[in-house]
């Protein structure tokens, strides 16, 4: 039985026969599918993930109107590439649907608005879709995985390199500053691959190589079975500054008529390595800095947003875009190791004091505080 068939059986047993729509005969799989299909490892994750799916099925039984987006995400989790966003959606929905105030009858999913109601019109779009709307709190939101974009680009390069060289087993660990701007990796992707293909001599089997394309990037190679280590540096403020483009990319979802939230999910198998250090508060520190920099409009009142995102067609400024994001919520998913349901999903948030639609002292903030979410406007001492 393939691992995808194992995942399909789990889904169909919970949601009903015929729920899955993906090919179960494929012999490649992602981290989630592999863990679900394991018979020896990931016991806690397998138990927790099945319980999450059961909770989502119960929510559907209460309100059939939320069924389609959930079933779509459950199927999306089986994808070899791009599964991370679907997984983030399931984790975030589990957080909100588990509370009566945002339960199955209190929310709407996959809601379409006219682009004129949002910054989407500045992108030249006609319509815009929101993952989650909470009418009682008057907010719209979108779910995003806080993924390892730089690492994902490099993984793709390594896979192509191994294919070109005809190598099946070669471990490559990159070393680079974790706060590096991910955009540079995308821009230099072709050159990075070319450099590896031309510079790495398979007969010499180097243990280390320093890139001439991107300053500070190097690689460690494991040609034989064993353990190798890579080193990286990190500065949270630099990391957050380099990710401002990420928020501008999502700006099309920022509503002109009601408060908008971006909900980032951190999950160890999909997020940047630095985000795994949740016990040291690094994810919260990053979101604090990401929000604090983006919400500060003192230096961006004259800067046109299209200088950061070429898909923007109008002359809207970065400051104006910033004012239409009311807040950021961080959800840390501890499903892999958590033995308590109430500790599985931990939330924190930062609100925009300069927002057109402010959420300070709102029904939403009261809700988040009641559920134990941390306010990241002022970071706790570490």
The CA distance from 139 to 167, in Å, is 51
What are all long-range contacts of 108-115, with beta carbons under 8 Å and residues at least 24 apart? 108/65, 108/66, 108/132, 108/133, 108/135, 109/65, 109/66, 109/69, 109/70, 109/133, 110/68, 110/69, 111/140, 113/140, 113/255, 115/252
Confidence of residue 276 (pLDDT cuts 50, 70, 90): low
Residue-wise pLDDT tens digits, 277-292: 555 688 888 899 889 9
Other beta carbons within 10 angstroms of residue 187's beta carbon come to 13
Phi, psi of 134 (to 5 degrees): -120, 90
Comparing 170-184, 244-258, 332-346, the range with the smallest average pLDDT is 170-184
Residue linked to tokens 């990796």: 185
The pLDDT assigned to 234 comes to 55
The pLDDT assigned to 59 comes to 98
Sign for the pseudo-dihedral over CA of 177, 242, 348, 132: negative
Candidates 302, 266, 292, 283; CA nearest to 351 is 292
The predicted model scores a pTM of 0.82
Other beta carbons within 10 angstroms of residue 166's beta carbon come to 7
Confidence of residue 156 (pLDDT cuts 50, 70, 90): confident
Candidates 245, 269, 261; CA nearest to 326 is 261
Mean pLDDT, rounded, for 125-130 = 96
The CA distance from 86 to 89, in Å, is 5
Of 269-278, 290-299, 342-351, where does the model show the most confidence? 342-351
Compute the 3-state secondary structure of the chain and give helix, strand, coil in percent, each to the nearest 5. Answer: 45, 15, 40
Q: Is the pLDDT of residue 112 over 80?
A: yes
Mean pLDDT, rounded, for 4-29 = 95
Comparing 66-75, 78-87, 242-251, 285-294, the range with the smallest average pLDDT is 242-251
Other beta carbons within 10 angstroms of residue 39's beta carbon come to 8
Mean pLDDT, rounded, for 158-173 = 85
What are all long-range contacts of 44-47, with beta carbons under 8 Å and residues at least 24 apart? 44/336, 44/337, 44/338, 44/339, 45/335, 45/336, 45/337
The CA distance from 86 to 235, in Å, is 29
Residue linked to tokens 């012999």: 27
The pLDDT assigned to 131 comes to 97
Mean pLDDT, rounded, for 230-251 = 72
How distant is the alpha carbon of residue 8 from its chain centre? 24
Would you say 202 and 161 are in contact if contact means Cβ atoms under 8 Å apart? no
The pLDDT assigned to 230 comes to 43
Mean pLDDT, rounded, for 362-366 = 98
Tell me the percentage of the chain whose pLDDT exceeds 70: 91
The CA distance from 362 to 380, in Å, is 22
How distant is the alpha carbon of residue 68 from its chain centre? 21
Other beta carbons within 10 angstroms of residue 210's beta carbon come to 12
Q: Is the pLDDT of residue 181 over 80?
A: no
Q: Is the pLDDT of residue 335 over 90?
A: yes
Q: Give Cα separations from 52 to 48, 59, 335 (angstroms).
A: 6, 11, 9
User: What residue ranges do the domains of the chain occupy?
Assistant: 3-83, 102-148+235-375, 149-222
Would you say 129 and 112 are in contact if contact means Cβ atoms under 8 Å apart? yes
The CA distance from 289 to 260, in Å, is 19
The pLDDT assigned to 96 comes to 98
The pLDDT assigned to 231 comes to 46
Confidence of residue 197 (pLDDT cuts 50, 70, 90): very high
The pLDDT assigned to 280 comes to 63
Would you say 51 and 14 are in contact if contact means Cβ atoms under 8 Å apart? no
Would you say 170 and 221 are in contact if contact means Cβ atoms under 8 Å apart? yes
The CA distance from 367 to 177, in Å, is 37
The CA distance from 245 to 180, in Å, is 13
List the beta strands (DSSP E) in the chain.
108-114, 127-134, 139-145, 171-175, 208-210, 218-222, 260-266, 327-333, 345-351, 374-375
């Amino acid at each position: 039985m393939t691992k995808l068939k194992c995942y399909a059986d789990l889904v169909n047993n919970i949601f009903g026969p015929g729920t899955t729509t993906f090919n179960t005969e494929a012999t490649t799989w992602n981290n989630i599918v592999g863990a679900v299909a394991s018979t020896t490892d990931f016991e806690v994750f397998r138990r927790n993930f099945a319980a999450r799916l059961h909770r989502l099925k119960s929510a559907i039984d209460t309100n059939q109107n939320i069924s389609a987006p959930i079933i779509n995400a459950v199927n999306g989790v089986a994808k070899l590439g791009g599964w991370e966003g679907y997984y983030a959606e399931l984790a975030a929905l589990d957080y909100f649907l588990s509370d009566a105030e945002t339960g199955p009858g209190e929310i709407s999913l996959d809601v379409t608005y006219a682009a004129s109601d949002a910054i989407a019109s500045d992108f030249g779009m006609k319509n815009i879709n929101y993952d989650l709307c909470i009418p009682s709190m008057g907010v719209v939101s979108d779910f995003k995985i806080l993924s390892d974009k730089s690492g994902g680009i490099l993984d793709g390069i390594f896979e192509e390199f191994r294919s070109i060289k005809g190598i099946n087993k070669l471990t490559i660990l990159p070393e680079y500053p974790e706060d590096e701007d991910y955009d540079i990796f995308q821009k230099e992707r072709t050159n990075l691959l070319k450099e590896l293909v031309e510079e790495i001599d398979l007969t010499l089997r180097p243990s280390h190589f320093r890139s001439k394309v991107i300053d500070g990037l190097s690689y460690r190679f494991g040609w034989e079975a064993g353990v190798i280590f890579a080193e990286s540096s990190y500065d949270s403020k630099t990391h957050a500054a380099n990710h401002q483009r990420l928020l501008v990319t999502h700006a099309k979802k920022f509503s002109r008529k009601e408060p908008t939230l971006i909900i980032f999910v951190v999950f160890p198998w999909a997020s940047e390595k630095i985000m795994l250090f949740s016990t040291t508060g690094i994810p919260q520190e990053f979101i604090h800095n990401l929000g604090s920099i983006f919400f500060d409009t003192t230096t961006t009142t004259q800067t046109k947003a299209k200088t950061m995102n070429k898909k923007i067609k109008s002359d809207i400024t970065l400051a104006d875009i910033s004012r239409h994001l009311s807040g950021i919520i961080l959800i840390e998913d501890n499903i892999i190791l958590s033995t308590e349901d109430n500790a599985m999903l931990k939330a924190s948030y930062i609100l925009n004091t300069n927002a057109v639609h402010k959420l300070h002292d709102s029904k939403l903030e009261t809700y988040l505080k009641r559920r134990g979410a941390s306010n990241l406007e002022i970071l706790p001492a570490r």
